[in-house]
């Protein structure tokens, strides 16, 4: 009975709040507040996260005062904050058509293009702003950001020099300069060591690679030499990887590896297409083809969806492996929390099912086979990457996996994995 009374009390409170809110809007109309007062209220609602209410107030003002540009710019920003970039552009174009040098509208449109990853457009908008306001720090800094995203580092550095002449202590200039300096280092060398330890059945397994990377006109290319020691055997695998850019916001992943060792697939082929999407999303579709011998191979279809939210990157990836008996599905989730820039982050990841790009327990004889790709597994892990000055990166991960045994279906072992990597850029 007491529980019922409490529920009724909560319901009455909720209804009172709804009625009060509706009455407050009615009062706004009834009291005939001035446009400036309504605008102040709309700003308050917008910055409090009540964007629907803010848009309603803005629309009310604009119905009577269509040339109140500050109101229309606020309306556009609320659309942009919700990822509705097209509607935001439409409102801002109305302002800039009538007032091409409106600073607030130019600044808002510049943010829209940057958030939507339309960096070419962002450069154009920033240039328009700089022509009207040559010493405006916001336009100089954000144009440098857009140029950096387009790989036009020399132009970006020139703008940063202008910005630092105006304001030597600009908070973002030094950070962006350091980022550009790092990204301009087109070559790299890296070394990785990893080991797996098991609760039973298997002895320790060891892995490693040495790699060279180079920025080419087609995109970043990697040449990698992989090493594995397990089941009392050793194996090697050379591998090539390339990330060609097709256009702004669209790039591909291409991979080929070969090995004569039974610890690796004889041929490994990978291809995937990545595309930036609205709302700070990125999606991909691709496949991995692994051939162990002419009669034994497996093709795995994969796709991912990623989201940038402030300093956090969240990625969900699926692997689909068709088989005569059905379809094997595995999923991995990764969350990266960036700390200042893309080189420094903390990572969490987890998943279930066998992941094609991860190490796998194979048979106790060390033989590869496609059956391993249908094993069950559950994984959780953490990772940490840290820049060591401008030229060095350190990366480490720790994972725990509950892995089904290849020779004993339904039975599991626990695998503890440690990986460390050191990379240098020059």
* Separation CA 270–CA 61 (nearest Å): 55
d(CA 31, CA 197): 73
Residue 44 pLDDT > 70 = yes
What is the band of 373 on the pLDDT scale with cuts at 50, 70, 90? Answer: low
Maximum Cα–Cα distance across the chain: 85
What distance in Å separates the CA atoms of residue 319 and residue 333, rounded to the nearest whole number? 12
pTM (2 d.p.)? 0.67
Write out pLDDT tens, residues 163-172: 998 998 888 8
pLDDT in tens, 53-98: 999 999 999 999 999 999 999 999 999 999 899 999 999 999 999 9
Lowest mean pLDDT, pick from 16-30, 60-74, 150-164, 229-243: 16-30
Higher pLDDT, 145 or 217: 145
Least confident stretch, 168-182, 263-277, 367-381, 390-404: 367-381
Q: Tokens representing 263?
A: 């610890």
Average of pLDDT values for 194-223? 91
Please tell me the predicted confidence (pLDDT) of residue 357: 52
Q: Please check whether residue 366 is in contact with residue 230, taking contact to mean a CB–CB distance below 8 angstroms.
A: yes
First vs last C-alpha separation in the chain: 73
Cα 4 to the chain's mean position, in Å?
Answer: 47
Q: Which residue has the higher pLDDT, 325 or 223?
A: 223
Give the confidence band of 372 by pLDDT, cuts at 50, 70, 90: low
Give the residue-averaged pLDDT of 296-321.
90
Q: Is the pLDDT at 302 greater than 90, yes or no?
A: yes
Segment 11-19 shows an average pLDDT of 40
| pLDDT attached to residue 21 | 42
Lowest mean pLDDT among 53-57, 218-222, 368-372: 368-372
For all residues of the chain together, what is the average pLDDT?
Answer: 85
């Amino acid at each position: 009975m007491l529980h019922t009374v409490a529920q009724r009390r909560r319901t009455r409170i909720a209804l009172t709040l709804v009625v009060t809110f509706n009455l407050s809007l009615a009062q706004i109309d009834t009291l005939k507040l001035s446009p400036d007062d309504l605008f102040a209220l709309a700003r308050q609602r917008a910055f409090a996260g009540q964007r629907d209410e803010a848009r309603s107030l803005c629309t009310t003002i604009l119905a009577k005062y269509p040339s109140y540009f500050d109101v229309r710019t606020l309306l556009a920003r609320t659309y942009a904050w919700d990822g509705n970039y097209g509607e935001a552009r439409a409102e801002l174009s109305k302002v800039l058509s009538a007032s091409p040098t409106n600073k607030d509208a130019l600044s808002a449109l510049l943010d829209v293009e940057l958030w939507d990853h339309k960096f070419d457009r962002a450069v154009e908008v920033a240039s328009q702003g700089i022509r009207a306001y040559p010493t405006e720090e916001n336009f100089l800094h954000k144009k440098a950001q857009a140029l950096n995203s387009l790989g036009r580092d020399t132009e970006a550095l020139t703008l940063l020099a202008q910005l630092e002449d105006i304001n030597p202590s600009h908070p973002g200039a030094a950070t962006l300069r350091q980022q550009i300096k790092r990204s301009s280092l087109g070559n790299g060398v890296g070394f990785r060591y990893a080991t797996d330890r098991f609760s039973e059945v298997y002895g320790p397994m060891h892995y490693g690679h040495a790699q060279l990377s180079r920025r080419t006109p087609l995109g970043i290319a990697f040449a990698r030499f992989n090493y594995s020691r397990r089941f009392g055997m050793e194996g090697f695998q050379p591998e090539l990887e390339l990330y060609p850019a097709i256009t702004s916001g669209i790039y591909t992943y291409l991979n080929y590896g070969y090995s004569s060792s039974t610890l690796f697939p004889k041929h490994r082929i990978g291809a995937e297409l990545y595309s930036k999407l609205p709302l700070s999303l990125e999606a991909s579709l691709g496949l991995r083809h692994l051939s162990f011998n002419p009669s034994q191979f497996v093709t795995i279809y994969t796709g991912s969806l990623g989201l940038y939210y402030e300093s956090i990157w969240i990625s969900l990836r699926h692997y689909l492996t068709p088989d005569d008996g059905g379809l094997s599905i595995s999923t991995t989730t990764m969350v990266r929390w960036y700390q200042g820039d893309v080189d420094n982050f903390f990572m969490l990841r987890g998943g279930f099912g066998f992941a094609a790009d991860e190490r796998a327990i194979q048979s106790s004889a060390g033989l590869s086979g496609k059956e391993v790709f249908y094993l069950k597994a559950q994984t959780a892990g953490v990772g940490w990457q840290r820049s060591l000055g401008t030229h060095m990166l350190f990366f480490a991960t720790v994972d725990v996996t509950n892995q089904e045994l290849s020779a004993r279906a339904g039975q599991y072992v626990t695998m503890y994995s440690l990986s460390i990597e050191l990379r240098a850029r020059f």
